[in-house]
Amino acid sequence: MKLDFNEAPLLAVWETTRACSLACGHCRAEAITTRDAAELSTEEGKRLLSDVSSLGGLIVILSGGDCLNRTDLEEIVAHGKGIGLRLHASPAATPLATRERLLGLRTAGLDGVIFALDGPDAAAHDSFRKAPGSFDQTLSSVRLAREAGLRVTVSTCIAEWNYRHLEGMIGLTTSLGLSCWDVYFLVPVGRLSSLRGISAQDFEDAFERLHKLSLEAPYAVKLAEAQHFKRYVLEKRSRGAFLRRQASPAEGGGEAPDQAVNAGKGLVFIDHVGNICPSRLLPLAAGNIRTHPLAETYRGAHPFRELRDPKLLKGRCGVCEYAELCSGSRARAWAVTGDFLETDPFCAYTPKAMRIASQAAG
């Protein structure tokens, strides 16, 4: 199914709380230890889910912080399920992720959970997270979630520090019984700005490996903040040879082969106090659900409108023949250049128009 991203997002991410007992140095949410009194209430959260559903949205990710800090999570999930949404939660891997809690969420209608794993072993993962025991806790949470009947996604942020562990991560993830491996590429924003991403050439090499993996892996491979993967596939393979097994809506995927979800384009992020942003990595608030209708904001407010108009793109992306399909990571363009319409600086591609111009000049 192909959604019109001008009308409806495929995916809404709601940061249910910023409270988390972990304090990972790279956490985008800048997690705090206790719940913010200003975070959306149960009723506001349910209304938000109803608004997403009326807007035509299909999938909601309940993120954090650690969403398990919300004692009303089951009630919220049950509401979302009752109005036909697919719901995933992305809890932190802490002792709060008990068998009982995960079973309760499954019973309430939760479709799946997403756990973060950044390294292939305890040494790499725990030292990066600065949380001894986090690796083992994550594997245990993955097992409990599977036993509770939940689809499990592992999400890995690829950056310079762990790129060398890619093969190790493939080995680990293929052994965990996952439904989906969500590989997302660093956008240096907030606390993440202290990290370095991989080079444009490394992106191409990672695309090669992940495309191959997608043809043989026991799970769906989903790439995020790597919109130029679609250009890579079209460029290197014949049309129609897209991923054999793309992530389905149940796995948090579901974009059509000729669509790339991007900030504000198929994606909307609502932060813990209700601000409506194009993505969690492009946190430019266009309104607040307490005062602005979600539908009007997504469909017509700045910067959502501009983010969906490929004619406004600048630099290489602005003249690229793949702009409509790909358009580059708008969050990364913003994080690196300060302008969300600029070139995605980590794309190695030279558009045809630029090659022709350079040949004519030279």
Question: Which spans of this chain sit near ligand SF4 (rule: CB under 6 A)?
Answer: 228, 231, 316-317, 320, 322-323, 326-328, 344, 347, 349, 351
For ligand SF4, the closer of residues 136 and 205 by Cβ is 205
Q: How far is the CB of 343 from ligand SF4 (least distance, A)?
A: 6
Q: Where would I find the beta strands (DSSP E) of 146-266?
A: 151-158, 180-185, 220-224
Among residues 198, 187, 345, 193, which one has the least CA distance to residue 281?
187
DSSP state of 32: B
For ligand SF4, the closer of residues 192 and 347 by Cβ is 347
Q: How far is the CB of 314 from ligand SF4 (least distance, A)?
A: 10
Which of 34-43's residues contact partners 24+ apart within 8 Å by CB, and which partners?
35/69, 35/70, 36/272, 36/273, 38/272, 38/273, 39/272, 39/273, 40/14, 40/16, 40/270, 40/272, 40/273, 40/274, 40/289, 42/72, 42/75, 42/76
Based on C-alpha coordinates, what's the Rg of the chain?
A: 20
For ligand SF4, the closer of residues 136 and 258 by Cβ is 258
For ligand SF4, the closer of residues 162 and 327 by Cβ is 327
C-beta separation of 20 from 92 below 8 A: yes
Q: How far is the CB of 76 from ligand SF4 (least distance, A)?
A: 36
For ligand SF4, the closer of residues 165 and 228 by Cβ is 228
For ligand SF4, the closer of residues 303 and 328 by Cβ is 328
CA atoms of 259 and 155, how far apart (whole Å): 21
C-beta separation of 154 from 181 below 8 A: yes
Q: How far is the CB of 234 from ligand SF4 (least distance, A)?
A: 9
Q: How far is the CB of 310 from ligand SF4 (least distance, A)?
A: 8
Q: How far is the CB of 223 from ligand SF4 (least distance, A)?
A: 13
